[in-house]
Structure 1
């Protein structure tokens, strides 16, 4: 279910890697809830062996760069932006970057760290942000980085310096590929893929991909894999990765929250390749990799995969979140979307824990009106009504609002 990590954590810019122990590890930057700037000063690592990507182990802080505990000695206290990690020759390498364009690598004997002895990536340090690392089948490592124009080169055996004779300065460009930032390199069936943040639809909300038969290109744009538009009224960027785990490929991406471009959370969807190696675009869902959500269990309203109008996901208490600012528009402009719910053999009653004053329509993806609820309460309470129709099987659900400043905690069907 999305988001996939425990609610106290706002992990963005996700890089997923299956490491030699067979577990899937997730690396990313760390937003601070409510902070109106990207990223904090710590990295956290999670891992799983669960094929539904539901149960995650938290491994703690893997790297830190505060003024008191500077992991980057030449840039003490600088916020840590998107990282990447790789295993090579028995060591684990964490590639990090920061607000002032430092690029560095730290080392550990374990995939979850702690990572230490950071040193600059010579040839990239001070130039830009967003490192990506890839080790090819022949053992050669490659390093990508940059905004607007993607740079890349072979890594030398020390994993901290670049072979500048191999440097390419325009592997992807904003003009040709819509490249904004956030590269990720993978290889499948002899094809090299770069997944990246794409600004072609107006905002940097898309994760797109490009393909080549050589690691440093040339690359041809394939298309969009996922777009996080409407995850929040203020959403601006996306950044993530693709990875195969137990025979299934996934895309890891983030969604902003709290009516901001930050407070981002990690999400995941299954993806599928065509025979020619191209990837179909997938939609954001509430269910993620775990399959349809049981409509008869209490559903957290904050797992909405898209919101329209002024609605957004806000903190409540004890790391819980709610939908707020619901209403004030009309049925078309104010809605929250949930994909997908399993209604099984049908429903007869709808129950919603909400507050405020107004009306909520409950519809499914075939425009079937399931219920209409009139709300009038200054405090959260359960409102229940008989269903006017019965949905069956797996369907999307929309809560459509008309009223004043309504908030929603959860809902369920009977």
Structure 2
């Protein structure tokens, strides 16, 4: 399920809820509906589909039938407010529900907010603030009804460095006496693959740009943007972000990594991992290949075309490409490795630790498969490994070999 632009909130019941846009096609961004993810432990997730829509059976926007980009949600006085945006009409709106899961109904346009990516903070005194924008962010006070902005308060909240880094994707949190403004940051790579942040003692700014929290470059050859939020869950802060798949700017997946708020208020940049919010993964467990957290070369994650069961795989793998899994915990004595592949010509996969040219613990020969839909299981012995390591699968091939991988396992 491809949910991008994740805005995470812990509500009164202690559960965490993630609101985001939904990618459905490579021909356009997002879709005409929003789903809501929720969890009480960050490991097991549920989804409520069609909690809000701008078109079709669950339509709650009577003034247009346009796509829905990134949303946010806020709570005040027993009501949950879903803030949404539609780029073709250059308008933003708000719908209501008595449940954090929706359905959200009676969408109403917010006059004066005519770009994208709304974010809302309800401060300790009950005053709410509305953030939005593309190219340059804006902030305004929300009126007490939570559905209108006070246009006389509109201001630009970021300092010069922040305005240079800001692309879109406003998100706002309060930590202690400080306000944290998070956004899609294009200060690297000439594309907004980073989530950057800025801080202020005032919700209206000025916010001082501080740097990058996470960069999703390397998740897919065609990755274009990032968008997300930070949220505290059971005494730990996390960054919620997305990764592209399918060799596309779209088909984005919501992801999580733990972060640390330092004593001086700064946030150290963190890396993308396979384990996400959990502990290092047991090396002996079967690993679905699409859980790679970093890719190099032409390789990308795609839907499997080999059967009618929903599945993903690593595909388009060529000579010298590699895929990374962070982190695996080698607690038990494991002696062998097996991998399910489809290979156009003979090749091999090197198993290396912690770096693309790191310690070689095994090489698994891969034989040419019969056709494009046939898979085979290949095995090899490995050297003894102990402790927590990043695993690099490095691919070598003959005569422009083409690899596809479904899963692998140490045993």
Which TM-score tier does this pair reach, normalised by the shorter chain?
over 0.9
What's the counterpart of residue 198 of structure 2?
Answer: 210
Question: Structure 1 residue 21 and structure 2 residue 13: aligned?
Answer: yes
Aligned-pair CA distance for 1:46:
1.6
Question: Structure 1 residue 312 and structure 2 residue 307: aligned?
Answer: no
2:121–2:129 CA contact under 8 A, matched in 1: yes
Question: Structure 1 residue 350 and structure 2 residue 337: aligned?
Answer: yes
Question: Structure 1 residue 44 and structure 2 residue 35: aligned?
Answer: yes
1:211–1:222 CA contact under 8 A, matched in 2: yes
Alpha-carbon distance between aligned partners in 1 of 2:15 and 2:354, rounded to the nearest angstrom = 36
What's the counterpart of residue 4 of structure 1?
Answer: none
The CA deviation string for residues 34-53 of structure 1, in whole angstroms up to 9 with x for no partner, is 52321011100121111xx1
Ranges in structure 2 where 5+ consecutive residues have no aligned partner:
none
2:71–2:118 CA contact under 8 A, matched in 1: yes
Instruction: Give the one of 108, 127, 137 matched to 2:97.
Output: 108
1:198–1:204 CA contact under 8 A, matched in 2: yes
What's the counterpart of residue 406 of structure 1?
Answer: 403
What's the counterpart of residue 6 of structure 1?
Answer: none
Q: Considering only aligned residues, what root-mean-square deviation do their CA atoms show, in Å?
A: 1.4
What stretches of structure 1 move > 6 A for 4+ residues in a row? none
Aligned-pair CA distance for 1:67:
5.3
2:72–2:120 CA contact under 8 A, matched in 1: yes
* Relative contact order higher in (CA < 8 Å, ≥ 6 apart): 1
Q: Select between 58-67 and 274-283 the one with higher mean Cα deviation.
A: 58-67
Matches within 5 A, 1:212-231: 212-231=200-219
What's the counterpart of residue 197 of structure 1?
Answer: 184
Matched length: 395
Alpha-carbon distance between aligned partners in 2 of 1:342 and 1:117, rounded to the nearest angstrom = 50
Instruction: Give the one of 19, 31, 43 matched to 2:23.
Output: 31
What's the counterpart of residue 386 of structure 1?
Answer: 381
What's the counterpart of residue 359 of structure 1?
Answer: 348
2:38–2:46 CA contact under 8 A, matched in 1: yes
Matches within 5 A, 1:5-404: 9-32=1-24, 34-50=25-41, 53-66=42-55, 70-76=59-65, 78-100=66-88, 101-124=90-113, 127-169=114-156, 171=158, 176-201=163-188, 202-316=190-304, 317-327=308-318, 329-330=319-320, 334-356=321-343, 357=345, 358-365=347-354, 367-378=358-369, 379-387=374-382, 389-403=383-397, 404=401
Alpha-carbon distance between aligned partners in 2 of 1:103 and 1:394, rounded to the nearest angstrom = 46
Counterpart secondary structure, 1:261:
coil
1:29–1:80 CA contact under 8 A, matched in 2: yes
2:162–2:208 CA contact under 8 A, matched in 1: no
Alpha-carbon distance between aligned partners in 1 of 2:158 and 2:141, rounded to the nearest angstrom = 13
Ranges in structure 1 where 5+ consecutive residues have no aligned partner:
1-8
Give the TM-score taking structure 2 as reference length: 0.93
Aligned-pair CA distance for 1:175:
6.8
Alpha-carbon distance between aligned partners in 2 of 1:219 and 1:21, rounded to the nearest angstrom = 31
Give the TM-score taking structure 1 as reference length: 0.93
Counterpart secondary structure, 2:377:
strand
2:162–2:209 CA contact under 8 A, matched in 1: no
Alpha-carbon distance between aligned partners in 2 of 1:195 and 1:138, rounded to the nearest angstrom = 22
1:253–1:268 CA contact under 8 A, matched in 2: yes
1:148–1:174 CA contact under 8 A, matched in 2: no
Aligned-pair CA distance for 1:71:
2.2
Aligned-pair CA distance for 1:374:
1.4
Alpha-carbon distance between aligned partners in 1 of 2:197 and 2:395, rounded to the nearest angstrom = 36
